[in-house]
Amino acid sequence: MNHSKEKTNDHSVMQISLLFGLLSLIGKDFSSEVIRNSSKSCIMSMHTDGCGNRGLLWQCGNRNLSEIPEHIPLKYKGEFVTLDLSENQFTRITMETFHNIDPRVRSRITSISLRNNPIRHIGNFSFQCLWRLCELDLSTCHLQRTSFEINSFGNSLLNQLKILRLHNNSFRGNGYPDTAISKAKLLENLTLDVFGGFTFSSYFQNLTKLKKIEFITGNSKFHLTNSTFRGLIKSPIVNLEMIFKFRVYSDVSDDIFCSFPFLKAVHIEFGGMCDLNVVLKSLKCLQHRTMDRIVAYNNNPMIAKNAVYLDNENCKYLFNICSRRVELIKNRIVGIYDNLLSTVMGQCMEYFDVSSNRIRVINPWYMLDFLTRYPNLQVFNYSSNADQCNCESPRYSHRPTLAALRMIDCENDKFSQIASNMFVSNVSGKTYLKKRGLMAFKISEKIRVLNFSKNYLNRLTYPLPFDISLNAMNLKELYVVRTNFPCKYMAPIQTPFLEILDISNNDCSEMKMRILMFAKKLRIFVASNINLSFAGSLKYGKLFRGVMSLCKVDLSRNSLIYLPPAMFKDQEKSLLTANFDYNLFSTIPVSNLRNLTRLYLRHNKIPFFTRTDFEKISTLGKSVVFIEGNPINCECTNILSLNWMKENQDKFGDLNKTLCINQNVFLSNFFQEQTFKKFELICQSDVWLLGSSFALVFVIIILLTTAAIKRYRVHVDYIILRMRSRWKGVMCMANSEKFRFDAFVTYTEEDYQLACITFYQTLVRLGFKISMPDKDFLPGISEAKQLLQCIDQSRKVVIIVTENFLENGWNSYAVQMVVTHAFHNQRERSIIVIIKDDISLERLPRDLKYIWWSIVSIRWPNGDETMDKFCEEICAALRPDP
């Protein structure tokens, strides 16, 4: 029984071992499958590493790898390879780590990134198989000094490693792995953390090829002592950047730069607890050297205790350094109390930048020396020192001496007095203004760049009794942004090689037309917010006349409404960029600029584009127009403009930022096919409705006009006849005392016998001159015209009203013509109506009944017994009014 149990147990053990073996094989297969899948997901792309080797980047970062993938496609094995293994799960780097890679590929790897891996150990000779390795990144791996073995970078074949990054690790406390780093003897570029107590030991003296070291500052504050950089004394470091950002204690040693015998350029940024005085004091070991660049930037203490000024006391080391470039930017310098021209630095420097300080006091003669006498100075940047909006001096506990201030004030007064005496004279206690002259400022021919922006000349008061001429024969760049630049008094600037001019944020509303006449090589002109107005001498558009190389113009923020047509006539081929942002343009202001690439019209007043705008844009070559911030109106009335914009979207650079003000949608979305089709359908229905409304109104107007003309045809005829008479020079006799006829008799044709035989003969016998249609009308001439002419020539008008007269249509026309003429010429009592056949007044023509109160009516007698009385009434009516 026991034996059988043992056999059973042995059999169970075998089964279990076989099971574990099978699981182990499955695990290995699964692991290898994961690696293969990971390698397949790696991305290949073109890349150039830090050493300048051009090849491929095998990007396997963030793949959760703990081993290097084996498979690299064979077609890539002839290229230099950068292996990116960052943000994975590598914990140990040993000699076997890279053996999975094909030897032919290993020989082509020049750069490896293991950044952000949880690496705890790097063994000896770990990189010996990568004999072309030039760049290695081990940053942010939580490495400590003890993580490195002595020969981690040791290998006789590893002779290409030049760049090593070890920053953002855990070296604070134990210090750097100096022994391991010292084995990379050909190292040229090293990046390390700086922390409290950091120091470079003597092991670093083996790095005799190290040219550049980069410091990454953490949260720890530290001291800079004599021994901090002593281990780097044999390293040929040429460029040193000490960007420590408020972590340095103010007790910086005077001798820290003694450890850098080959230094040519230094950038110092301490700040926090250090001001510029601390920086200037640390330059002791650099004096009597020749440097390429000295930069002291943003050394501003959180609590300012002492004033910072440049004089022979605190700049005693700096003034003895022969540096081509000196930058003292943003250091709260309040004054320059000594002439730098007499120093070694002043004689050597070609570039001097004291911008963004608080310089309030400087001897004007020193400033003139900067512009005229420095033998090598080519670039002078004095910007942002005395801005008008921030002109109060800071409150320092330490002030310059009273004697120094008195001396500077005296010099300022002396300078002002000399300038005043040039144009003002005093005779017998009276002040006279001399004849207007020209003050010429001749700048050194060495100066190429002059930046005086954001400074306010307190002693320059307007109006000036003279014009100013700037003579700078070799000046290429001039910046006078936000100064009281005297545009009104500037004569043409004598700058034949000037390429860049920026006069923004000044008052140049009265700038002279020919100010740029000698700046023939000007390429960039910036005049934003200068109150520019193209009036006066500028209205002819000759500001840029002859400036054939101008390629960029900025006239933004000037409230411009239009530009003169000839503004850019000479720049049709040269102008590339035009900026008219924040103006008041409602149309495209320029045209015929063949090579223009960018036209900025943002935040103007353009609601839509007209056909003229289309034509102008088509003459701008391949220009892209920017219209963000304009009140673009997407209404049906602007359908032509919107259609054109949709078809030419490539001509606009910011349709995705430009809103339809009435649709509250960006134009890029509005021009989408479905959205715009819906808009067009709405517009078509609106057009049909509008067209129908217009057609209906038009028909109604025609009908009403026709009815009115028909109703008032006589009045229309009368007006037409009167106008024709006036045009022909025929004078009206309405108010004349001499008439050809005593009366004009009008009647219907059926009453010819009664009117022409009975009535006419009776009146002729009585001695009256009578005009009648059958007697005086000529054939072939308009009856209406002759009717008006006869009425004009007669003192009275007699209308014979009979049954035939009422039945004939002529009666209405004749009566209306007579009434219209009478009232037009104020002859209401000149109308005599003879009524026959006992016709009642109700049957008379309406026009006569309306004026019955102003006419003379006589009844025709029924028998001969009353004919005499009738004749007497007629004679009385026809006689002239008293």
Angle between helices 639-647 and 673-711 (to 10 degrees): 150
Q: Smallest Cα–Cα separation from 206: which of 230, 237, 184? A: 184
Tens of pLDDT, residues 699-728: 888 888 777 666 555 555 555 555 555 554
CA distances to 280, 312, 342, 411, 691 from 337, rounded to whole Å, are 16, 8, 13, 12, 82
Highest mean pLDDT among 357-366, 480-489, 585-594, 755-764: 585-594
- Would you say residue 282 has pLDDT above 60? yes
Tens of pLDDT, residues 661-714: 988 899 999 999 999 999 988 888 765 666 677 777 888 888 887 776 665 555
Least confident of 130-144, 241-255, 390-404, 526-540: 390-404
Angle between helices 713-727 and 810-824 (to 10 degrees): 50
Beta strands 54-59 and 43-48: pairing type?
antiparallel
- Would you say residue 126 has pLDDT above 60? yes
Phi first, then psi: what are they for 610, rounded to 5°?
A: -95, 175
Q: Do residues 518 and 496 touch, judged by C-beta distance below 8 A?
A: yes
Provide mean pLDDT across the span 62-86: 79
Provide mean pLDDT across the span 135-157: 89
Least confident of 12-16, 27-31, 188-192: 27-31
CA distances to 272, 288, 380, 381 from 327, rounded to whole Å, are 19, 18, 10, 9
Tens of pLDDT, residues 857-880: 888 887 655 777 888 888 888 877
Beta strands 794-801 and 121-122: pairing type?
unpaired
Least confident of 6-15, 85-94, 122-131, 286-295: 6-15
Give pLDDT, residue 732.
45
- Would you say residue 796 has pLDDT above 60? yes
Least confident of 173-187, 344-358, 580-594, 790-804: 790-804
Give pLDDT, residue 4.
46
In the chain, the amino acid numbered 90 is F
Task: Quote the DSSP letter at residue 228.
Answer: T
Q: Do residues 540 and 564 touch, judged by C-beta distance below 8 A?
A: yes
Q: Do residues 725 and 732 touch, judged by C-beta distance below 8 A?
A: yes
Higher pLDDT, 33 or 501: 501
Q: Do residues 835 and 857 touch, judged by C-beta distance below 8 A?
A: yes
Higher pLDDT, 460 or 844: 844
Q: Do residues 157 and 126 touch, judged by C-beta distance below 8 A?
A: no
- Would you say residue 306 has pLDDT above 70? yes
Non-local CB neighbours of 75 within 8 Å, separated by 6+ positions: none
Residue 763 CA to its chain's centroid (Å): 94
Q: What distance in Å separates the CA atoms of residue 534 and residue 509, rounded to the nearest whole number?
A: 9
Q: If pLDDT is split at 50, 70 and 90, which confidence band does 473 have? A: very high
Q: What distance in Å separates the CA atoms of residue 370 and residue 377, rounded to the nearest whole number?
A: 8
Q: Do residues 265 and 239 touch, judged by C-beta distance below 8 A?
A: yes
In the chain, the amino acid numbered 83 is L
- Would you say residue 882 has pLDDT above 70? no
- Would you say residue 198 has pLDDT above 90? yes
| CA-based end-to-end distance of the chain | 174
Give pLDDT, residue 809.
56
Q: What distance in Å separates the CA atoms of residue 839 and residue 802, rounded to the nearest whole number?
A: 7
Provide mean pLDDT across the span 215-226: 92
Highest mean pLDDT among 428-432, 589-593, 822-826: 589-593
Higher pLDDT, 653 or 879: 653
Strands (E), 475-545: 477-479, 500-502, 524-526
Give pLDDT, residue 22.
41
Three-state SS string over 42-67 comes to CEEEEEECCCCCEEEEEECCCCCCCC
Q: Would you state the structure tokens that stand for residue 237, as one six-digit string?
A: 């470091």
CA angle (298 as vertex; 294, 300 as ends), nearest 5: 125
Least confident of 128-142, 577-591, 619-633, 795-809: 795-809
Q: Would you state the structure tokens that stand for residue 587, as one six-digit string?
A: 């149309």
Provide mean pLDDT across the span 340-365: 94
Residue found by looking up tokens 């790097």 in the block = 122
CA angle (245 as vertex; 240, 248 as ends), nearest 5: 85
Give pLDDT, residue 715.
54
Q: Do residues 223 and 251 touch, judged by C-beta distance below 8 A?
A: yes
Tens of pLDDT, residues 439-461: 888 999 999 999 999 998 665 56
Phi first, then psi: what are they for 467, rounded to 5°?
A: -95, 155
Q: What distance in Å separates the CA atoms of residue 454 and residue 198, rounded to the nearest whole number?
A: 42
- Would you say residue 335 has pLDDT above 50? yes
Residue found by looking up tokens 């057009």 in the block = 687
Give pLDDT, residue 838.
80
Q: If pLDDT is split at 50, 70 and 90, which confidence band does 181 have? A: very high
Q: What distance in Å separates the CA atoms of residue 599 and residue 585, rounded to the nearest whole number?
A: 13
Non-local CB neighbours of 769 within 8 Å, separated by 6+ positions: 740, 741, 742, 743
Give pLDDT, residue 495.
94
- Would you say residue 124 has pLDDT above 70? yes
Strand, coil or helix: 344 = helix
Q: If pLDDT is split at 50, 70 and 90, which confidence band does 268 have? A: very high
CA distances to 20, 42, 499, 502, 733 from 450, rounded to whole Å, are 81, 52, 12, 11, 88
Q: What distance in Å separates the CA atoms of residue 801 and residue 751, rounded to the nearest whole number?
A: 9
Listing DSSP states for 489-507 in one string gives GBPPPB-TT--EEE--SS-
- Would you say residue 1 has pLDDT above 50? no
- Would you say residue 148 has pLDDT above 60? yes
Q: Do residues 631 and 603 touch, judged by C-beta distance below 8 A?
A: no
Provide mean pLDDT across the span 56-78: 77
Give pLDDT, residue 171.
93
Q: What distance in Å separates the CA atoms of residue 313 and residue 277, rounded to the nearest whole number?
A: 10
Q: What distance in Å separates the CA atoms of residue 465 and residue 836, rounded to the nearest whole number?
A: 101
Q: If pLDDT is split at 50, 70 and 90, which confidence band does 787 have? A: confident
Strands (E), 555-711: 577-579, 598-600, 624-626, 659-660, 665-666
Q: If pLDDT is split at 50, 70 and 90, which confidence band does 157 have? A: low
Least confident of 71-80, 358-367, 439-448, 618-627: 71-80
- Would you say residue 394 has pLDDT above 50? no
CA distances to 24, 422, 505 from 464, rounded to whole Å, are 96, 12, 20
Q: Do residues 489 and 466 touch, judged by C-beta distance below 8 A?
A: yes
Its pTM stands at 0.72
Non-local CB neighbours of 458 within 8 Å, separated by 6+ positions: 386, 391
Provide mean pLDDT across the span 806-821: 68
CA within 13 Å, CB half, 543: 23
- Would you say residue 146 has pLDDT above 70? yes
Q: State the CB neighbour count (10 A cutoff) for residue 217.
A: 19
Give pLDDT, residue 8.
47
Give pLDDT, residue 448.
97
pLDDT above 90 as % of the chain: 49
Give pLDDT, residue 823.
61
Give pLDDT, residue 456.
81
| Dihedral sign computed on CA atoms, order 753, 756, 759, 762 | negative
CA angle (747 as vertex; 744, 750 as ends), nearest 5: 150
- Would you say residue 35 has pLDDT above 90? no
Strand, coil or helix: 576 = coil
Average pLDDT over the chain reads 83
Tens of pLDDT, residues 714-770: 555 555 555 555 554 444 444 445 788 888 888 888 888 888 878 888 888 888 888
- Would you say residue 406 has pLDDT above 50? no
* Helix, strand, coil percentages for the chain (3-state, nearest 5): 35, 20, 45
CA distances to 418, 466, 469, 475 from 442, rounded to whole Å, are 17, 16, 8, 11
Q: What distance in Å separates the CA atoms of residue 619 and residue 617, rounded to the nearest whole number?
A: 5
Count of residues making up the chain: 882
